[in-house]
Amino acid sequence: MDMRKRSLVVVTLFATGALALGISTFVGGGKLGDQVGREALREGDIVFQHTGGEQGRAVELATGSPWTHVGILFKEHGQWMVHEAVGPVRKIALSEWVEHGEEGHWTAKRWIHSEKQLAPSAIGRLKEAGARFNGLPYDLQFGWSDDRIYCSELVWKIYKNGLGVELCAPKPMRENALGSETVRRVMQQRYGSAPPLDELMISPGALFDCAELRTVLVE
């Protein structure tokens, strides 16, 4: 092979590899950036997964999103922990949290202004905001009070109470798709004949689609 042909082969291989790398960094609508794997995670990242069971199915049908559970990441003693509302609000190792999702699949998203505004002091405020909810029971009726709390409400309120940031706007229950048999059955079990259709809510899917968040990791 002469030098000209050899150079052409090298350039072609390099271009092909670069294209493949570029494609691999775009997953779930967000660019992963230079880092890959869990090394890309940072405190304050929001993690999403799909969970099973009747509630998970009802949430999926009502919101039109496969994401039915969400938590927020903080580091403790060098270990990633997920702060989540499952009844009661607790912290759980990320490795264990991942096992609770369908086939271990999950996605991490990050506030788009985190590079400039999530200094250590801001992370501290997020942690303090989350600590106020520790031990609260799970809110099966998806109310907006602080007496009980559900997963996406917890994450939303941690950012709101800790930094004054509204990741996206809560919407009334009636704006969800409430007509399927599964959704109607769950609503009947929890509300009887008078569901609070004007109650403000925030779903995992709404957080996932929030324009204030970008994807940083998909597993």
Angle at 77 between CA 72 and CA 81, to 5 degrees: 20
pTM above 0.85, yes or no: no
**What residue has token string 């940083």?**
216
In angstroms, how far is CA 88 from the centroid of its own chain? Answer: 19
Instruction: Give pLDDT tens digits along the chain (219 positions).
Output: 554 444 433 334 333 443 343 333 334 333 443 345 899 999 999 999 999 899 999 999 999 999 999 999 999 999 999 999 998 999 999 999 999 999 999 999 999 999 989 999 999 999 999 999 999 999 999 999 999 999 999 999 999 999 999 999 999 999 999 999 999 999 999 999 999 999 999 999 999 999 999 999 999
Angle value at C-alpha 110, between 46 and 68, nearest 5 degrees: 35
Q: To which H or E segment does residue 30 belong?
A: strand 30-31
